[in-house]
């Protein structure tokens, strides 16, 4: 098993109930913290308060990762089953620790709260387990090492999880793993190409162990994260560089930025370099595109927003499927506003569509949903992405004097 692979097991019926409003924020936090050590979480499992089911989940986890962190089930009540489940999964007996009970009692005394008899259960741990002090509560955590894996059990209260992780668990794992001093991530931001198309091109890189490569998809955008573990920043850079170079060689035309650079500003910059003027038209989207583009800085006179009455008039003038209508409205808007390009998004009750055109090239997409369901964020995101790609391509073609016409539904 890879020493830098982990699984998080969230325990509690409240996490599975259809009537519960409890969110599992612990697993998100733990994932982030493990990432600082270069530990990759491969699995997240949620299981109810049944010791045999918890034990089954633990056995499976120990077969596939070397680090297992559980949250929840360490209270004093009868439905707190984590201690018993860990004992079953590791073939151990439960052992009462008087020193641990004394520590728990001292905490109750400091809190000026009477300790119930059932709190004795919290001082009973699997044989050979090492208790982990809880600086934010009374329930101690513990860890057990078994067959090359370590099981770390934490209480379920988020503030207690954070306190124990920072005070004890991270230092423990850092020592155990000999964790690298530097973990560096470089994010390549792409637009106008789907996650599946990226995966076709760089799927083999996503199987690397160091650096790791992962995808995070949004509407019209996909982030590619390259993360390296190393002893120094220069070593991390050296691991990242050839992977980034290969990604750029394969899909470089779709990379608009790195890190926190935004698609909106990339759109504005491409518009400025293209020397074109563009009009934006939105119907029934709530103005998503306009709100997003308002975050960027545009050159004066390059960006225009169509009046709603003009859009409604043009929409009613064209017939056919919504994607074709979007293309026609985009062309008509160019003439209406005397611009070189147009971007149009129309969201209706059962479908939505977008189109971008610069007069010689048109790109469009259509989306179909159930009745009374529409998600204008999707076509709006793709519209900005395809608009950026078209503007960038227009700049490149103008440099070589070649502007072919096309229609794209990528």
pLDDT at 115: 84
pLDDT at 407: 41
Could you say which of 258, 286, 319 is where a domain stops?
258
pLDDT at 377: 86
Could you say which of 177, 202, 235 is where a domain stops?
177
**pLDDT tens-place string over residues 231-257:** 888 999 999 999 999 999 999 999 999
The reply to whether 32 and 156 lie within a common domain is yes
Name the phi and psi angles at 126, rounded to 5: -60, 145
The reply to whether 211 and 272 lie within a common domain is no
Could you say which of 204, 229, 258 is where a domain stops?
258
The reply to whether 119 and 253 lie within a common domain is no
**Quick one: which of 315, 317, 356 has its CA closest to 334?**
356
The reply to whether 21 and 128 lie within a common domain is yes
Domain count, the chain: 3
The reply to whether 202 and 234 lie within a common domain is yes
**What are the DSSP calls for 185-247, one per residue?**
EEEEEEESS-HHHHHHHHTTGGG-SSSEEEEEEETTEEEEEEEEEESSHHHHHHHHHHHHHHH
Domain containing residue 217: CATH number: 3.30.70.2860
The reply to whether 172 and 232 lie within a common domain is no
The reply to whether 223 and 364 lie within a common domain is no
The reply to whether 321 and 245 lie within a common domain is no
The reply to whether 254 and 127 lie within a common domain is no
For residue 251, give its domain range: 182-258
DSSP-assigned beta bridge partners for residue 10 = 46, 71
pLDDT at 116: 82
Structure tokens at 297: 């800085």
Place of tokens 């994010």: 187
Domain containing residue 12: CATH number: 3.40.980.10
Which residues of the chain register pLDDT less than 50?
A: 371-373, 400, 402-410
The reply to whether 291 and 233 lie within a common domain is no
pLDDT at 180: 67
Say what the pTM is. 0.69
The reply to whether 170 and 233 lie within a common domain is no
The reply to whether 123 and 214 lie within a common domain is no
């Amino acid at each position: 098993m890879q020493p830098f692979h982990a699984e998080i097991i969230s325990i509690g019926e409240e996490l599975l109930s259809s009537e519960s409003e409890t969110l599992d924020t612990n697993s998100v936090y733990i994932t982030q913290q493990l990432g600082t050590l270069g530990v990759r979480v491969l699995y997240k499992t949620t299981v109810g308060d049944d010791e045999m089911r918890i034990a089954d989940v633990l056995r499976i986890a120990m077969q596939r990762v070397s680090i297992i962190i559980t949250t929840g089930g360490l209270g004093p009540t009868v439905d707190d089953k984590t201690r018993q489940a860990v004992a079953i999964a590791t073939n151990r007996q439960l052992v009462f620790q008087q020193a641990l009970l004394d520590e728990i009692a001292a905490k109750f005394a400091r809190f000026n709260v009477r300790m119930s008899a059932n709190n004795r259960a919290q001082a009973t741990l699997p044989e050979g387990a090492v208790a982990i002090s809880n600086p934010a509560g009374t329930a101690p955590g513990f860890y057990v090492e078994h067959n090359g894996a370590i099981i770390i059990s934490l209480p379920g209260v988020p503030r207690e999880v954070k306190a124990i992780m920072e005070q004890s668990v991270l230092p423990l794992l850092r020592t155990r793993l000999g964790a690298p001093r530097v973990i560096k991530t470089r994010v390549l931001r792409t637009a106008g190409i789907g996650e599946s198309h990226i995966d076709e091109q760089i799927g083999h890189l996503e199987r690397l162990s160091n650096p790791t490569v992962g995808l995070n998809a949004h509407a019209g955008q996909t982030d590619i994260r390259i993360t390296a573990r190393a002893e120094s920043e220069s070593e991390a850079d050296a691991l990242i560089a050839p992977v980034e170079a290969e990604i750029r060689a394969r899909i470089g035309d779709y990379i608009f930025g790195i890190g926190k650079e935004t698609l909106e500003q990339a759109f504005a910059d491409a518009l400025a370099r293209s020397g074109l003027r563009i009009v934006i038209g939105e119907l029934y989207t709530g103005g998503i595109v306009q709100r997003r583009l308002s975050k960027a800085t545009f050159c004066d006179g390059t960006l225009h927003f169509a009046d709603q009455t003009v859009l409604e008039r043009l929409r009613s003038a064209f017939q056919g499927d919504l994607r074709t209508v979007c293309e026609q409205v985009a062309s008509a808007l160019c003439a209406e506003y005397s611009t070189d390009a147009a971007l149009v998004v129309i969201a209706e009750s059962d479908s939505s569509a977008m189109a971008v055109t610069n007069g010689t090239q048109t790109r469009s997409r259509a989306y179909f949903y159930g009745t009374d369901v529409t998600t204008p964020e999707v076509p709006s995101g793709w519209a900005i992405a395809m608009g950026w790609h078209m503007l960038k391509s227009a700049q490149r073609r103008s440099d070589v004097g070649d502007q072919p016409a096309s229609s794209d539904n990528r």
